[in-house]
Amino acid sequence: MSEIVLGVGASHSTLMNTHWHRVVHTERAEAFRDALDAARRRVALARPDVVVIVGSNHFRGLWLDLVPAFTVGVGEVVAMGEAGTPKGPQRTDPEFARALAADLVEAGTEVAISARLQIDHGQSHAIQYLLGDLGVPVVPLVVNVFARPLPTLARCVQLGENLAEAVRRIAGDRRVVVVASGGLSHRLPWPSDWADPQDDDEAFLVDAWTNGRGEWERYDRRRREIIVAARPTIFPEFDRAFLDDLAGGRLRRYASMTTDELEAVAGNGGQELRTWLVMAAALGFVPGTPLVYAPMPEWLTGMGVAVLDPSEGDQRSASPEPESRLDPLGGDR
């Protein structure tokens, strides 16, 4: 019987690679980088045989011609290598990936499969900073967080729970780490609804998302200019409350939010928090340990890193909750 031995949540941003020299909040940036390194050490200590990376795809491998809610890479996995992230074929475990996808479907989570999946920094940023030179095979699990209609947050929780059950049923004794890549709060300079672009830049991006397969180079320069020119929009109070709920083992409560409600409190980029919910659900929502929170306007994102260790969950769940906290969902806790 295989088992999940660790969960990690980590923000990503290619601007971390390309715009470090423009960072103003240096201490925050260094704290985030150091937290990634601390999380990488935790992954190494967990001695994984395979890492499931739950991440997004920024219209680099999946396009508007076909965007499944959930996609598992079951064969070749090729990283695009944009903005200094890893490039080329990645080490994989096709046998495990195929068994995982089959079991998820049997459990009622109909995932799509890809025998040749192209990933971007939504997955490869985690490979770069959390796996480094560990040489561990990866299984990408791509969640649609950008092309509405999005899978509900409740459906993402169910995916995580079914993921945990599937891992336990897979033959062998693999040690599995689940990594969530994305978030925290941020607003991206693209349409919240691809069918309703509001200006020329948004219309250009929708055109790229629709027609970019096989000819992305002709869109990439202007796309990058649009991203870099964006005005930062971060919601630190929401981010801190989210990490507080992670520490208390309370992330399940976010499953009741709608897509519009999440966008209102965390921005359209905050839809990536679906990946954290998948990971946390796969770990049984055990209380976790936030390693850092760094609001980085230079990178357009509230950057966070957290670790969920099931061997520590029972001890942490016994700790009392603070008497008062910001509640991003409204109402009493």
Mean pLDDT of the chain: 92
Place of tokens 């923000």: 11
Q: How does pLDDT run along the chain (333 residues), one tens digit per residue?
A: 899 999 999 999 999 999 999 999 999 999 999 999 999 999 999 999 999 999 999 988 899 999 999 999 999 999 999 889 999 999 999 999 999 999 999 999 999 999 999 999 999 999 999 998 899 999 999 999 999 999 999 999 999 999 999 999 998 899 999 999 999 999 988 888 899 999 999 999 999 999 988 888 889 899 889 988 889 999 999 999 999 999 999 999 999 999 999 999 999 999 999 999 999 999 999 999 999 999 999 999 999 999 999 998 655 544 444 433 445 555 443
What residues are labeled active site?
Answer: 121, 186
Q: Are strands 50-55 and 112-119 parallel, antiparallel or unpaired?
A: unpaired
Domain residue spans in the chain?
3-188+230-317, 197-229
Bridge partner list, 118: 78
The number of angstroms, rounded, from the C-alpha of 74 to the middle of its chain's C-alpha atoms is 19
Distance (Å, whole) CA 172 – CA 177? 15
- Token pair, residue 96, equals 């495990």
Tell me the CA distances in angstroms from 329 to 42, 186, 235, 295, 313, one per residue in order.
Answer: 31, 17, 14, 20, 24
Distance (Å, whole) CA 296 – CA 119? 24
- DSSP designation for 300: T
Distance (Å, whole) CA 280 – CA 161? 9
Fold type of domain 3-188+230-317: Protocatechuate 4,5-dioxygenase; Chain B (3.40.830)
Contact 47, 175 (CB under 8 A): yes
Read off the pLDDT of residues 1-45 as tens digits, 9 standing for 90 and up.
Answer: 899 999 999 999 999 999 999 999 999 999 999 999 999 999 999
Read off the pLDDT of residues 195-241 as tens digits, 9 standing for 90 and up.
Answer: 999 999 999 999 999 998 888 888 989 988 998 888 999 999 999 99
Which of these, 254, 251, 248, lies nearest to 318 by C-alpha position?
248
